[in-house]
Structure 1
Amino acid sequence: MTLLDKDGVRLAVDGAVATVTLSNPAKRNVQSPALWRALTEAGRIVPGDVRVVVLRAEGKSFSAGLDRQAFTPEGIDGELSFVDLARGSDETVDETIAGFQEAFTWWRRPDLISIAAVQGHAIGAGFQLALAADVRVCADDVQFAMRETSLGLVPDLAGTHPLVQLLGYSRALEICATGRFVHAAEAERTGLANLVVPAAELDGAVGDLSAALLEAPRDAVVETKALLQGASGRSYDEQRAAERAAQTRRLRDLVGAGE
């Protein structure tokens, strides 16, 4: 069932799995504020019984990043030019970018597990969108690159935090500052990709992983995800306390369910 199809984004739901597809392969799924608004809307209308969200893209490239026309004086049709945005107040720029970031943040909600199926180029905003997901399954032709710094900018679409978490500060800095490509072998070796498969097997691998993620009871998965998400911000003893609290809830729910 298709719930959304606009501005290069399509949302379809099949039982407990929702699929968000970037659907502008002719332009290598370049991104724009309209696409970000559509991604944000997709997150808001995902049905409550969905447990897994797959993020995929049509064509040979996952996403070639931001549409460069946004940086021209005329901008993208119907959108504020980034040239004009730069002339706004600090508050206006901050509020505008915060709105863009919403498209990249909902993927990590505790009640969902998100999988990015990434093939070909994932550059700049495309790299950050792949990083927005909990898990990345990549084709063997994948090419990640964070090009913002090379253009005199910074990655500002919520990608820096997961990148450092995945790769560590030193490697994340080197990748961002050089803008170089990270290919499939390095992505898998460093943990940027959870799994790398031949391009023809990408959809099948994502389908298998989605099915495996649905095997465990939902509440147990939600509690486990929340525990893992908060672990880096807690001390060892705080994390042990969080584990005890979560397990108490699970035990009581299980006993209650059996009565």
Structure 2
Amino acid sequence: MRIGLITPEPGHPLLAAATALLAPEHTVEVLDPASPAGAPARPADVYLLKSGTERALELARELEARGAVVVNSAAATALCQDRTRMAELALGAGLPFADTRTHGSLSAWASDAALPAPVVVKSRRNRRGDLVARVDDGSRLRQLAEVWRHEPVVVQEFAPNSGWDHKLWAIGDEVFCALRRSELSPEGRGATRSLPLDELPAGWADLVRETGAVFALEVYGVDIIDVGDGTPLIVDVNAFPGVRGQAGAPEALAALALRRVTGRTGRAHATR
């Protein structure tokens, strides 16, 4: 079988480990979105899309149009890059997602914003190096507006919590979990610590799987904070995260790729 990787980083630990598991019996091909070569004349049996660049999405859409299986679909991947659409879909489906307001630019919102309580300001486009910051007062808001003046943003009320993010990842139906300091923490994120699933509050693993179904994702991450007594609040959803250092994750990814080749069935494409 031929498994394709749509990524500029085939040496990423998760992809490299899954490739090592697949390579003895299957052909693993790398499709670099930055390459001028474009999509191959004969598509692979399944593609793993671990890139959110416009070029990567274009390649994924082209391959899907030619009948190839892409995990995650281009539509689902693109949806997770837009935090406004993400919030609309999650809240519309009844998921416990943070209430989200959208503004065309940080400077436009900052010019007349009233801050009765702390808020979290994020770039509307979910990407590496984006803006994620807690804002408690006008002075902090003006500082951010000087740097991110034209950035489209979403604003969420700050929810008091323990200061730890629960990083939950799913590959198919398998869920992995870790704890990491919130990126809003003054101490910084620090190291990520794996957490056994049985130490999660009841129902959280099922909530992750439900989120995957709503977003039509097969490899994904869900960031959850505990806002008290095990009550979950989803603050972000990511398509094809790194899932670094999680025992069993490469095996789960390799098995998922092979299932998608043989079954060629999976979640419907996200369209919202």
Give TM class, smaller chain.
Answer: 0.3 to 0.5
Q: Which has the higher strand share?
A: 2
TM, length-normalised to structure 2: 0.31
TM-score, normalised to structure 1's length?
Answer: 0.32
Using CA pairs under 8 Å that are at least 6 residues apart, name the structure with larger relative contact order, 1 or 2. 2
